[in-house]
Structure 1
């Protein structure tokens, strides 16, 4: 049982349970992560400690029988677990390969999409360039026509009015 479960059982916080363990100098068994692992004997000892506190005994005067350290918990590997572990390892390896393949196919698809988009943009740019050239040519032609029309107007002599031509002014 872990510290959280023991604290709920005793009706105190997890930090209080840990503080009691340290105060009593109990050498607790720990799991592979370094967390306390409580067995029934540990729980009874802590219940007795709590009861003495509730009876008014000062915390400095409470003396409990200390447990010897059991060391870190280890997972025992039996022969039945080895084939399961190997099977799980094979499945894990297969899943990793599938994920890599999926990632590769997604990247490939994205690259193809980007290429298509680039080609479309390239075609649009070419069309725009052709339109710009066409408009530029038209503008130049219109400008030439306007210049030639202006030049012709300058060359034409102005007609004199009918009265001035008759009277010779």
Structure 2
């Protein structure tokens, strides 16, 4: 399962822009509405504020670029964000299902600090050969070109770097 390319994903500052949009109207029915629309009962039981935040604040552009990478490389998502401390993997998958991404979330990194160590441990344990890391915390000194430094949210220049990093690993791994 984990031999597929992995995208180690941070949430805040990567797909949830740091500049909080406080201007959205809180919709108390949103979990129910989305649950019915997507035929996904689990969405209805998520926290109403959380669902509104995710639905209104997550960058649709970032989500689309993420989907592009997943489809192009048959990649899977590993959550590195501190959200993994607050929410279970099941809850995170359900949240990401709002954007049809839940099925690609396969795991989260171990709860150890610093984040670089948690990622390294995950890579070693699962013998991952192809991966990228999307984060707004600089880890380039540890992960070199595997690391994509995202400022505020994942946009086209970041996508191009991520695409290239996965592309060269794909070529390397074929040899």
User: TM tier, shorter chain?
Assistant: under 0.3
> Which protein is richer in helix relative to its size?
1
TM-score by length of 1: 0.19
Structure number, greater radius of gyration:
1
Answer 1 or 2: higher relative contact order, Cα 8 Å, separation at least 6: 2
